[in-house]
Amino acid sequence: MATSAERMRALRERERRGIRRLTVDVSEDDLRTLAERGYEGAASTDHDQQAQAVGLFLNDSLLEIWPTGSLSQRQP
């Protein structure tokens, strides 16, 4: 478990980079399905690899919905 100083340092680094934290619950079945569809890190026992695979899947899914450049053209 990270110390409070390490968590604060990580928070400041995410803020500096403009990254927001998002918590997503993913089942073992979801991870298995992602791995079967080519997101190999989802099959890993390493949580960082799993998180990267889920993040890549979300990125790819959003790009399917909103092709590159279309987000900047959307009205708020």
Does residue 46 form part of some domain? yes
Q: What is the mean pLDDT of residues 34-47?
A: 96
Average pLDDT of span 49-53: 95
For residue 1, the model assigns a pLDDT of: 66
**Is 49:41 a contact under the CB 8 Å cutoff?**
yes
In a domain, 30, yes or no: yes
Report d(CA 46, CA 65) in Å as an integer: 29
> pTM for the full model?
0.67
Could you list the residue range(s) of the whole structural domain that residue 62 is in?
22-68
Domain count, the chain: 1
Whether residue 61 is predicted with pLDDT greater than 60 in this model: the reply is yes
Do the domain assignments include residue 8? no
